[in-house]
Structure 1
Amino acid sequence: MGFLEIISRQHNLKEGAGKPYPVEGAAFFFALIRTHFWVFIKLNLLFTVFCIPIITIPSAIAGINRVLILLIRNGHCFLWSDFWEEFRRSFFRSLKIGLVMTIGLGISYYLLNFGIENLQSFSGLLGLVLGFWGTAFFCLFSAWTFVLTAMLDLNIGALLKNARILMLLEWRQNLVVMIVFVVAFCFILAVFPFSLPIYFLLLVSFAQYIICYFLNGPVQKHIIKPFEEKQKAG
């Protein structure tokens, strides 16, 4: 998959490691939530504060993903230091990635609006289809890219390339990501403005936890493990 320039961050993934959990699968998933519930709330609040200048949202996403990946990998994390380190380290890289995703989602939103306003015409139906497809594509693309950003030291081109490859390989994970986005979006709209407190306290960190949990495995399988095996063989 062309990962020759990868720089391993396995030593960083061991920061704050605690005793491994004696459970796997769904039991492990819910054990982390039960054990670190207040970490999720504090992480969500930290993310919200760091998103106040809109320009910092991409690096805040990288920061929250970094903390969650550490939690998933090790069962423990250093909330502030792990978040802040990733926020600073990936600021400019995340900003450029965020700009690409924003432009893509902006075009998709325009096509959706155009399609809705012109449903009686072929161009309107085409715009609606392209708008839905573009929204789904860039939501998935951003999810994979920002998880990779928090796990690997790669340049932007390599991150985007690998995110695209993983999207093609892992349709089950894509389905999970889309379900998370759709459920979160519908929940916010359905009970707005009562959903705002939940959004600021828990929704973002919990949604990103699900995404990181399901995308971590494929990244380990297709990128990190082959790289480690190549390093040992060399």
Structure 2
Amino acid sequence: MKLFNFFYTRSSCQEEKPPVLKKGLLRFFQIIWIEFWNLILLNIIYVVFCLPLVTIPAATAALTAELCDMIRDRPRMLVHRFWSAFKREFKTATQLGIIGLAAAMVLTALLIIIPVFLPPIFTYMLLPTTVILLFVFCMIWIYVYPLLAVTNLPLRYILKNAVALALMQAKYAAAAVIICGITLYYALLYFPVSIPFLFFGVLSLLGLVSTFATWPGIRDHVISEALQKANTSLLDDADEWAAIWNS
């Protein structure tokens, strides 16, 4: 009986021991390994909440809030957290969605109009410029929803910080945009065959890619600086986090 108790206790301690968090890119694959089924469930919930179309920005904010929790390894209730973030950020997320859609439509329209209506000499000059502007816009925009998810910043400061972070962390933002762009290109290329993949995992995976790429910059240049202004270095103190982060 003592021998049985010994092995039972030892096994229980091993099961309750928290996993060691990896560093760098290994952490990304660790999240996928640990949160595989949650990512699938999160993808399904996200697609369902996006169906009215006008709710896409708020659903994206809720998705990003969940992904930020995964990256930070925070305890959570997935469905409850998603619904809470969806309701809380609906207004601001919708405003950001309108701004983003307007900017994307203008840049996309220019890509169509320039080759059709302008002489070749202007096309060679303006078309590459517009492509670069669209790419930079995407780099900026992947910071918007993570900032909305983890801070209480007003809309104008979210946009201001997104621009600054995209320039400061350009290589990470550019890599995330390229990966997401290539994936979406092939998803559209093989549509409707790609529908099951989009419904069961691709969208949450792309969200994880962009959120994972943007999180270090937000942590180091927004959260850490806010904590320093609060005259504290206790990064795990609940009161300090509550003053800065959304719960």
TM-based fold match above 0.5: yes
Where does residue 94 of structure 2 map in the other structure? Answer: 95
Q: Summarize deviations over 1:32-83 as a string: whole Å, max 9, x none.
A: 1112111111101101011111111111111000000001101543211111
Paired with 2:81 and 2:21, the residues of 1 have a C-alpha distance of 24
Paired with 1:126 and 1:76, the residues of 2 have a C-alpha distance of 51
- Map 1:157-172 → 2, pairs under 5 A: 157-172=156-171
Identity %: 25
Query: Unaligned 5+ residue runs, structure 2?
Result: 1-16, 234-247
Shift of 1:135: 2.0
Where does residue 155 of structure 1 map in the other structure? Answer: 154
Q: Is the 8 A contact 1:67 1:82 kept in 2?
A: yes
Give the letter for the 1:153 counterpart.
N
Q: Summarize deviations over 1:134-161 as a string: whole Å, max 9, x none.
A: 3213222221111111111111111001
Where does residue 13 of structure 1 map in the other structure? Answer: none
Q: Is the 8 A contact 2:177 2:210 kept in 1?
A: no
Paired with 1:22 and 1:126, the residues of 2 have a C-alpha distance of 48
Paired with 1:95 and 1:33, the residues of 2 have a C-alpha distance of 29
Query: Unaligned 5+ residue runs, structure 1?
Result: 1-17
Paired with 1:53 and 1:127, the residues of 2 have a C-alpha distance of 36
3-state SS, counterpart of residue 232 of structure 1: coil
Where does residue 204 of structure 1 map in the other structure? Answer: 203
Where does residue 131 of structure 2 map in the other structure? Answer: 132
Give the TM-score of the pair, scaled to structure 1. Answer: 0.85
Paired with 1:37 and 1:84, the residues of 2 have a C-alpha distance of 20
- Map 1:1-234 → 2, pairs under 5 A: 19=18, 21-74=20-73, 76-118=75-117, 121-232=120-231
Shift of 1:174: 1.8
Instruction: Tell me how many residue pairs correspond in the alignment.
Output: 217
3-state SS, counterpart of residue 55 of structure 1: coil
Give the letter for the 2:111 counterpart.
L
Give the TM-score of the pair, scaled to structure 2. Answer: 0.81
Q: Is the 8 A contact 2:42 2:204 kept in 1?
A: yes
Identify if the C-alpha distance between structure 1 residues 233 and 201 changes in structure 2 by more than 3 Å, giving closer, same or farther.
closer
Moved more, 31-40 or 74-83: 74-83
Moved more, 106-115 or 135-144: 135-144
Give the letter for the 1:187 counterpart.
Y
Paired with 1:125 and 1:231, the residues of 2 have a C-alpha distance of 51
Give the letter for the 1:57 counterpart.
I
Shift of 1:126: 4.2
Runs of 4+, deviation exceeding 4 Å: none
Where does residue 12 of structure 2 map in the other structure? Answer: none
Paired with 2:71 and 2:22, the residues of 1 have a C-alpha distance of 12
Give the letter for the 2:172 counterpart.
Q
Shift of 1:85: 1.2
